[in-house]
Amino acid sequence: MSDKTWDKIIKPKRSLLEVDFKGLWYYRDLLRMLVYRDFVTYYKQTILGPIWFFIQPLFTAAINLFVFGSLAGLGPQGVPGFLFYMSGPILWQYFQDTFTKTASTFIDNQAVFGKVYFPRLIMPLTVLISGLLKFGVQLCLLLCAIVYYYFQTNTFSMQWEIIYFPILLLIIMIMAMGFGLLVSSLTTKYRDLKFLIDFAVPLLRYVTPGIATSYVVFVQTLPKDLVFLAKYNPIGYLIDSFNYMFVGAGSFDWSNIAYSGGFAIVTLCFGILIFNQVEKTFMDTV
């Protein structure tokens, strides 16, 4: 067998936990285009257009204030209830949107995946980044509301721990991405999971501290048999810390954040592992 110099060498598949960063960088223009498409066209052909970015958190805050604050009497003490019911839900909504949209990556994009090659992680990253832009817009709205209440009440609700907000946001991004990759890989074979996620994730917000009330009050109102729903809920610690940073209602504990961060990393590792395994043959089962 004579030695030959090949123009192209096809190497074995990368390891299961390896991420093709080189391929992601090479297709960065595609990622940018998809993010732009998702962000700009989300409310295209609607009457109000981008105004919906602002209407949704305002309506959500007003409804939560009426239901949880006025009717149930679970509102926070010492801080404007409207601010509290605006802050937690916008972070939760970012997690929910990223999770549910990433969970349907293979199913929603099977036609594209079957025609052209590009790193499959491009699609989950598109969801992650476009959702982050929407979250950024709504966060600016929250900051405007905080400034408004400051001039109305002469009380500044933001805490100095807000400097750690990027860490908090990174953890919830990792967690949403990990859960989404994990479920998206399983839905290629078990389509029922998609229906379960669409149904269960919105309900999960009502057993998550920081949405209706702070972590401490939430634990006190739960029956003893259900306290574990708050104690072992990693998202609840993040939302409660987020509320404390911006609104001053909640708690900030590094041990709880470390627990959520560890949970997020483990989830992402499992998600990447199964995602890399499934993307080899998903076109045969999707």
Tell me whether residue 239 is in a domain.
Answer: yes
Alpha carbons 61 and 67: distance in angstroms, whole number: 10
Q: What is the mean pLDDT of the chain?
A: 84
Give the pLDDT confidence of 211-251 residue by residue, as tens digits.
Answer: 888 877 777 777 777 787 778 889 999 999 999 999 988 88
5 membership: H or E segment, kind and range: none
Please give the DSSP secondary-structure letter assigned to residue 13: P
Tell me whether residue 259 is in a domain.
Answer: yes
224 membership: H or E segment, kind and range: none
Alpha carbons 136 and 54: distance in angstroms, whole number: 11
Tell me whether residue 97 is in a domain.
Answer: yes
116 membership: H or E segment, kind and range: none
Question: How far apart, in Å, are the Cα atoms of 215 and each of 168, 180, 218, 277?
Answer: 16, 25, 5, 38
List the end-to-end C-alpha distance of the chain, in Å, as a whole number.
Answer: 42
Has residue 1 got a pLDDT over 50?
A: no
What is the mean predicted confidence (pLDDT) over 252-277?
Answer: 91
Tell me whether residue 186 is in a domain.
Answer: yes
By the 8 A CB rule, do 283 and 189 touch? no
Closest by CA to 77, choosing from 217, 209, 207, 206, is 217
Give the pLDDT confidence of 174-193 residue by residue, as tens digits.
Answer: 999 999 988 888 887 777 78
Query: pTM for the full model?
Result: 0.87
What is the mean predicted confidence (pLDDT) over 119-133?
Answer: 90
27-32-36-38 Cα dihedral, nearest 10 degrees = 50
How does residue 256 score in pLDDT terms, banded at 50, 70 and 90?
Answer: very high
Q: How many CB atoms lie within 10 A of CB 228?
A: 10
By the 8 A CB rule, do 209 and 219 touch? yes
Number of domains within the chain: 1
Looking at per-residue confidence, does 158 or 276 come out higher? 158
Domain that holds residue 124: 21-285
Q: How many CB atoms lie within 10 A of CB 248?
A: 19
Tell me whether residue 5 is in a domain.
Answer: no
Alpha carbons 79 and 24: distance in angstroms, whole number: 44
How does residue 262 score in pLDDT terms, banded at 50, 70 and 90?
Answer: very high
Alpha carbons 198 and 100: distance in angstroms, whole number: 7
Give the pLDDT confidence of 17-73 residue by residue, as tens digits.
Answer: 667 788 888 889 989 998 988 877 776 766 666 788 788 888 988 998 888 888 877
Tell me whether residue 1 is in a domain.
Answer: no
Burial 140-166 (b: 16+ CB within 10 A, else e): ebbeebbeebeeeeeeebbeeeeeeee
Alpha carbons 22 and 185: distance in angstroms, whole number: 22
DSSP for 246-260 reads HTS-S---HHHHHHH
Tell me whether residue 147 is in a domain.
Answer: yes
